[in-house]
Amino acid sequence: NAGVTQTPKFRVLKTGQSMTLLCAQDMNHEYMYWYRQDPGMGLRLIHYSVGEGTTAKGEVPDGYNVSRLKKQNFLLGLESAAPSQTSVYFCATGPFYNEQFFGPGTRLTVL
Amino acid sequence: QQQVKQSPQSLIVQKGGISIINCAYENTAFDYFPWYQQFPGKGPALLIAIRPDVSEKKEGRFTISFNKSAKQFSLHIMDSQPGDSATYFCAPGGGNNRKLIWGLGTSLGVNP
């Protein structure tokens, strides 16, 4: 079992470009989350989903969109990347809100 | 609006010493109190967690102490080892929130 995987691992974008980050899980979990982690800021929740077809805004949703068309996948989209979105992005999943299993992260740089 | 305050921000202990990290929260509806451990370049991983019906939980060298009236819980690492050097996060949750509320993290360094 792969657990939680994130694609890609690294990406460099130019300001204004768009991209999609993919989170895939084979743990059959209902809950999925997207976080960003910046130095000194801890983990900040961007969007989350409590089941297939559902999404909800987290703490810092502006500039991001998400979709959960299949239970095992949670996509995070950046429509027009900005330097402020340079960060490490983590996906997490869980059977409920409490125990969360994290992916390895995607390091994104926006120039 | 910071609902969770973690302290200290960083901590250095000697090998074999005791590391103590504290977490204060505001939301009395929280019913789940975990600590996560994160190594450089990796995602956080659940280390230990406690429910509010007990005041202490021990797993190996790691202990959570929970004080409901003070709205605080702490992580104690006994016999700290260099391999414990990592960033630790408290992330309580529960009530109407279907998510965890993360502290800013504590960077722990254990000198050999």
pLDDT digits (tens, 9 = 90+) for A14-73: 999 999 999 999 999 999 999 999 988 889 999 999 999 999 999 999 999 999 999 999
Q: Which of A100, A106, A107 to mutate to test the interface with B (most CBs of B within 10 A)?
A: A100
Cross-strand bridge partners of residue A13: A110
Mutate to test the interface with A, among B23, B98, B101 (most CBs of A within 10 A): B98
A1 vs A88: which has the higher pLDDT: A88
The model's confidence at residue B106, banded by pLDDT at 50, 70 and 90, is very high
Separation between Cα atoms, residue B22 and residue B45, nearest integer Å: 18
Predicted pLDDT of residue B98: 78
* A43 contacts in chain B (CB < 8 Å): 44, 89, 91, 102
Give CA–CA dist A86/B95, Å, rounded: 32
| Best mutation target, A21, A27, A43, to test chain B (most B CBs within 10 A) | A43
Structure tokens at A106: 């995607």
Distance between CA atoms of B82 and A69, rounded to whole angstroms?
43
Closest residue by Cα to residue B76 from B25, B35, B31, B32: B35
Helix (H, G, I), strand (E, B) or coil at B82: helix
B95 pLDDT band, cuts 50/70/90, is confident
Preceding peptide of A8 cis, ω within 30°: yes
pLDDT band per the 50, 70, 90 thresholds, residue B87: very high
What pLDDT score does A41 carry? 84
At residue B83, φ and ψ (nearest 5 deg) are -70, -10
The whole-number average pLDDT for the span B77-97 is: 92
Tokens, residue B48: 């230990």
Q: Which of B46, B49, B103 sits opposite A42 (nearest CB)?
A: B103
Query: What confidence score (pLDDT) does residue B25 get?
Result: 96
pLDDT of residue B3: 85
Residue B1 has pLDDT above 70, yes or no: no
Cβ–Cβ gap A99/B94 under 8 Å: no
- Pairwise CB contact (< 8 Å): B102 & A44: yes
Return the pLDDT at A39: 87
Whether A10 has a pLDDT exceeding 60, the answer reads: yes
Residue B2 has what pLDDT? 61
- For position A57, what pLDDT does the model report? 95
pLDDT band at A93 (very low <50, low <70, confident <90, very high): very high
CA distances B64 to A10, B19, B80, B83, Å, are: 36, 12, 15, 19
Pick the closest to residue B91 from A59, A71, A9 (CA basis): A59
**pLDDT exceeds 90 at position B34:** yes
Going across the sheet that includes B33-38, the strands are: B10-14, B106-111, B86-90, B33-38, B45-50
Q: Mark yes or no for CB contact B43/A99 under 8 Å.
A: no
**What value does the mean pLDDT take over residues B62-70?**
95
